[in-house]
Amino acid sequence: MNTVPSVARHAGRSWRSSTSLLGALALVAAACAPERERAEALQQSAAPQLQAAGAPRATAALEPEDGQWTRPAKSHSVLRYSQLTQIDAGNVAQLRPAWSYETGVLRGHEEAPIVVGSTMYVVTPFPNELHALDLANHGAPRWVYRPRPVSAAQGVACCDVVNRGPVFADGKIVFNTLDAHVVAVDAATGREVWKTRVGDINRGETMTMAPLVVKNVVLVGNSGGELGVRGWLKGLDLASGAVRWTAYSTGPDSDVLIGPRFRPFYDDHKGEDLGVSTWPGDAWTIGGGTVWGWISYDPELDLVYHGTANPGPWNPDQRPGDNKWTSAIFARDPATGEAVWAYQVTPHDEHDYDNVNELVIIDVPWKGAMRKVLITPARNGYVYLIDRATGEVLAAEPFVYITTTNGVDLKSGRLAVNAGKKPQMGIVVRDGCPASPGGKDWQPSAFSPRTGLLYIPHNNLCQDYEALEANYIAGTP
């Protein structure tokens, strides 16, 4: 497969071509023709470290199967795995459409429908209507809730006016609107229970992610890293919608909710107020690090895990330093938001490698013992295996063709950056791989305890890149 060169500029996203492929952790799909030898080498080397033939398989804790799908990823561990067995390899070819339903909204539908009892709930792109469909009656609509978000939010959204779905908890359907509100609706009647504004579109904040509810706390994050916003994760009270806590991705430790419990694994993650000192001046106040991706939860450790997006602006010369804590992973206490550990996956992110992809909670055989880990296919092109109690990186293997970096040093946890692919002012840098959408973007992977494999929809895409000087005006790219 030949690549088509693409162009990405620091303040927007403009790509000529994108090809999505589906692969498993044990396989690497065929790469671009000029790099075929490299791809073949990866195919031989990537999987054996994680799952040798005949070795014990990776596994995961499963909740009792009730035939419902009440969260965007079904489980808190973000497996996206169903234990139902009615559909199998022997009868899948017999599947036929049973019914269809039109929402009437013509923009990108990236939401995961959820199923509670015999009702399916779907949140549309802007204007973020919530549709309740009767599965026992050919998908007939039961009711539609219309939150009526502010129309101006459409002009602030970076990358389409999408929504990634609702969550069900305590009789409520909870979801986000593009104009930075969180809404709770009675699942039976469609009546609004509460509606809380958590961001400001005039500053460029929008919301596209799917919430997660943990122990009666609604976890939500903002979008808008391309508009100079400051990223955060908030915890709202499920009963009232009141904001319990806010954890910023940049700034002083008191804002990031870094305190005495914080125990990062790597030395360059230790120190006071790194969310300020690793930025020039007050650039951290408009430095991005939004939380627009997936959130997972380990009830045994009582920790939630989330990623943070790219630093802003895209032009790395305007923000020297590691730019903590953007393009990173946090482990937090869901009740308080307090950070327990953090790991910056892509320090001083030069290529928009937001680290917001799913953090799948599994257990793996590792050097003679089972380890509790997170596994995540990152946008920088590596599949990371991370101890979920400590933040130690156990493995980081390429799953796409990579030119921007030369691997991950497991002792320091740092990427080996290829200086020849650094974006430069006035110079078009060719063949940056992966491109800005990453080796994998928001489209979620899934883990099967039956096979011990993680299935990854990924992007086989490179780009040509030229850095431009950015100026900050609130609410604009």
- For the question of residue 268 being annotated catalytic, the response is no
- For the question of residue 226 being annotated catalytic, the response is yes
Query: Which residues lie closer than 8 Å to 257 by C-beta, 6 or more apart?
Result: 245, 247, 248, 332, 336, 337, 338, 339
Assign 3-state DSSP to the chain and report helix, strand, coil percentages, each to 5. 10, 30, 60
Instruction: Please tell me the distance from the alpha carbon of residue 323 to that of residue 79, in angstroms, as a whole number.
Output: 31
Q: In this structure, what token pair is assigned to residue 137?
A: 């009656």
Q: Let me know the angle formed at the C-alpha of 214 by 335 and 169, rounded to the nearest 5 degrees.
A: 135
> By the 8 A CB rule, do 235 and 228 touch?
no
Kindly name the residue from 226, 322, 350, 397 that is annotated as catalytic.
Answer: 226
- For the question of residue 350 being annotated catalytic, the response is no
Nearest to 215 by CA among 187, 194, 192, 239: 239
Beta-strand ranges (E) seen in 102-139 are: 114-116, 119-123, 130-134
Kindly name the residue from 176, 222, 310, 315 that is annotated as catalytic.
Answer: 310
Nearest to 115 by CA among 82, 161, 147: 82
> By the 8 A CB rule, do 122 and 113 touch?
yes
Kindly name the residue from 111, 129, 298, 352 that is annotated as catalytic.
Answer: 352
> By the 8 A CB rule, do 468 and 385 touch?
no
Active-site positions read 226, 310, 352
